[in-house]
Amino acid sequence: MYPILGLSIQGKHTETTLVGAVLELQKQGMGIMSGLVLFTTFVVPAMELSGLLFVLLPLKLNKKIRGQAAVFRLIQALRPWGMIEVLMLGILVALVKLAHMATVQPGWSLWLFGAFIFVMAATAASLDSEEIWLRLGRRYPTGTKANAGAGYLSCHACGLLARASPENMEQHCSRCGGALHVRKPNSIGRCWSLLIAAMILYIPANVLPVMSTSSIVGAQVDTIMSGVVYLWMSGSWPLALLVFFASVMVPLLKLMALVVLLVTVQAGSRWRPLDRTRLYRLTERLGRWSMVDIFVVTMLVALVDVRPLAAVQAGPGAIAFGAVVVLTMCAAMSFDPRLIWDSIQDNVHTR
Ligand SMILES: [Zn+2]
């Protein structure tokens, strides 16, 4: 509701809220990008909050409502897409960039978002999903000590064990309703296709401008890399390093890591499975931080609208870059890390 940042240049003042920034992108014809920003910073946290309330409140009152398990499964699947903390980093970068050309005032929402991140992290830390699953369903053994070789399947969402049906038919978890399979279906094919799409888009994401600035002194276009160089030249090198790592290194390392994982799994390699599993986990966790540049552009577009002095417009590179982040996140999610171990444990039952 309240402004995140305010900006004054030579007596002209602008300020923006989160939703205001999304609408500004929409106005510039950046519908996909504004949708992505709205989804990751507003829709997902809102769904997470209302979903948790829907699951926890009846449990507190010792009641059960239909659909609680499905909702809990949904909010756990949505969690990686909530990116408020990445947005905060984006706001910080925008603030540093703007501080050189104008007076920037942090708004109420900036502090409120800070508090929100803290409280949400505490919520996630104190939420014991195992406990919730036990209360939502009957007491079944979970997948921790089980062996897939004994003809059991463990649910991806809640960890409940189910006996694998002898026929190769589709099975659903009796507790949360999630689909059950020994390994994620078509994991390798799906991962490759998303990965190749991401690789192709990685080129326009880095070559095309992510934003263009027009001011009375002239126009300037910025790619991801020139944005990093600008931060470096203006003396904020810690931030330059951070942005370089998040938006240049992380996507590149992610693409390479997934290629290594896919190739080794397809070759049936037995090479350092533990390290490869760690690599997978790292890839899955770091990926979302690449969104930071998308949020920087969003904030700059919304704030720097002091015509005729200066105006910032989002460029096509930003859409390609956002697509790379989303595609690599989906690729990492569709990869099944259990495939790494299949060639090592020959006795494990696989399809
Ligand atoms: Zn389940």
pLDDT in tens, 200-251: 999 999 999 999 988 877 888 889 899 889 888 888 888 889 889 988 899 9
| Strands 310-314 vs 211-215: parallel, antiparallel or unpaired | antiparallel
pLDDT of residue 207: 93
Q: Is 13 strand, coil or helix?
A: strand
Question: 209 CA to middle of ligand 1, Å?
Answer: 44
Phi, psi of 312 (to 5 degrees): -115, 135
Q: How far is the CA of 348 from the centre of ligand 1 (A)?
A: 21
Q: What are 120-156's pLDDT values in tens digits?
A: 999 989 998 888 888 887 555 554 444 455 677 878 7
pLDDT, position 56 = 93
Distance from Cα 152 to the centre of ligand 1, integer Å? 13
Give 160 Cα–ligand 1 centroid separation in angstroms.
5
Give 276's contacts (C-beta < 8 A, 6+ positions apart): 260, 261, 264, 340
* Three-state secondary structure call for residue 142: strand
For residue 81, report the distance from its CA to the centre of ligand 1, in Å: 21
Quote the ligand 1 centre to 140 CA distance (angstroms). Answer: 11
Q: Say how many Å lie between the CA of residue 156 and the centre of ligand 1.
A: 7
Q: How far does the centroid of ligand 1 lie from the alpha carbon of residue 130, in Å? A: 11
Distance 36 CA to ligand 1 centre (A): 29
**Burial (CB count within 10 angstroms: exposed 0-12, middle 13-18, buried 19+), residue 348:** middle
Where the chain has pLDDT below 50, the residues are: 143-147, 347-351
In angstroms, what is the span from residue 109 Cα to ligand 1's centroid? 38
Residue 86 has what pLDDT?
Answer: 93
CA–CA distance, 122 with 99 (Å, rounded to integer): 32
d(CA 311, CA 108): 24
Tell me the CA–centroid distance for residue 286 and ligand 1, in Å: 26
For residue 73, report the distance from its CA to the centre of ligand 1, in Å: 8
Give the Å distance between the CA of 248 and the centre of ligand 1.
37
The beta strand positions in 278-339, using DSSP E, are: 305-306, 310-314
As given in the structure block, the two tokens for residue 184 are: 């994620």
Of how many residues is the chain composed?
351
Q: Is the peptide bond before 80 cis (omega within 30 degrees of 0)?
A: no
CB 281 within 8 A of CB 348: no
Q: How close is the Cα of 161 to the center of ligand 1, in Å?
A: 8
Q: What is the pLDDT of residue 98?
A: 86
In this structure, are residues 291 and 322 in contact, taking their beta carbons and an 8 Å threshold? Answer: yes
Q: State in Å: Cα 23 to ligand 1 middle.
A: 38
Contact 231, 97 (CB under 8 A): yes
Residue pair 93/243 in contact by the 8 Å Cβ criterion:
yes
CA of 116 to the centre of ligand 1 (A): 30
Please give the distance, rounded to the nearest whole angstrom, from the Cα atom of residue 133 to the centre of ligand 1. 8
CA nearest to 182, candidates 145, 148, 146: 148
Q: What single-letter amino acid sits at 338?
A: R
pLDDT of residue 350: 46
- Tell me, what's the pLDDT at 199? 96
The answer to whether 83 touches 40, Cβ cutoff 8 Å, is: yes
Contact (Cβ atoms closer than 8 angstroms) between residue 214 and residue 202: no
Structure tokens at 210: 């992510």
> Ligand 1 centroid to 69 CA: how many Å?
8
